[in-house]
Amino acid sequence: MATKRRHPASTASPNPPIHRAGDRSPNANKDGYFYLSTRPLYILLFLLPGALLYEIGSVRYLSNPDTGTVDQIRAERLMRNFFELFDLGDTAVYLPGIMLIAVLFVWHILLGDPWRCRGKVLLGMLAESIAWTIPLLVLSHIIARATGLNAAAAAAAAPAVGDLAGLSVPARATIAIGAGVYEEMLFRLFAIAAVHLIIADLLRVKEPLAKTIAVVLAAIAFALYHDVARASGGIDMPRLINYLAAGLFFGGLYVARGFGIVVAVHATYDLIVLVLLNTD
């Protein structure tokens, strides 16, 4: 009698709880760009310059020397508030950035990937991120035209740090980079993983339904996280639709191409809208 052999679960997925078919396949090209660009070491090296630019820019362009405070991306502030529950004092301010590096570093060690890195893969990730930004800009433009939403309000990071009016170009650029890093860290890297864990592992919902539900719920949370209330009361539907569409786009891209690409696309999109298109 023939017996079915059980295949062990893959540990090589770029998004640990959300396994992709290409990563489980024994024929996956582990030396190819599409595989390497989803590995944690490449993601860390690719995102590290942007993360450092944000930390430097937040101190230089978003700080208020009179009050001694520094404006933060709302997603980063939420993570900082979580750490403050453990009475960590002033060090809580730096922990979101440290956590990003630590997660990718530990992830790399657990996977047992080699420490060598190919520069052409990092350049390819940059080019791919720019390419993926184009359809997002088109989607945002279509939604803006259909709903009457202006270009500045269409930025995924627009309300991330209070009122953007009067902020310098470097300050807006800092916000754009920070939103790409920390909003994707919160809503894609953590939220999708957590929802998928509950739905797939605890509730036993099968793929790809579990993956789809995780992406949709994270996109809804992403939309509601932004300021979608009208000054006169009620919900600003054009803004809500725009953020929801962006969240679905980011979620799909995260599942398909990993964390590094989606962070860069988010940051590039916001840089274009907040810096190049925003002339206020």
pLDDT 10s digit of each residue in the chain, 280 long?
444 444 343 444 444 445 443 354 444 678 899 999 999 999 999 999 999 999 899 888 888 766 555 566 778 878 877 777 777 666 666 788 888 999 999 999 999 999 999 999 999 999 999 999 999 999 988 988 888 776 555 555 454 455 666 778 898 899 999 999 999 999 999 999 999 999 999 999 998 899 999 999 999 999 999 888 887 888 889 889 999 999 999 999 999 999 999 999 999 999 998 888 765 5
Could you tell me which of 40, 77, 250, 57 has the C-alpha nearest to residue 162? 77
Say what the pLDDT of residue 24 is.
44
Residue type, 136: L
CA distance linking residue 210 with residue 18, whole number of Å: 9
Helices within the chain (DSSP H only): 21-24, 33-36, 40-61, 74-84, 95-111, 119-147, 169-184, 191-196, 209-225, 237-257, 259-271
pTM of the model: 0.85
With b for 16 or more beta-carbon neighbours within 10 A and e for fewer, the 195-222 pattern comes to bbbebbeeeebeeeebbebbbbbbbbeb
Do 75 and 187 meet the contact criterion of CB atoms below 8 Å apart? yes
Do 178 and 213 meet the contact criterion of CB atoms below 8 Å apart? no
Say what the pLDDT of residue 8 is.
41
Say what the pLDDT of residue 66 is.
60
CA distance linking residue 63 with residue 66, whole number of Å: 9
Say what the pLDDT of residue 275 is.
86
CA distance linking residue 22 with residue 73, whole number of Å: 34
CA distance linking residue 218 with residue 84, whole number of Å: 24
Say what the pLDDT of residue 21 is.
35
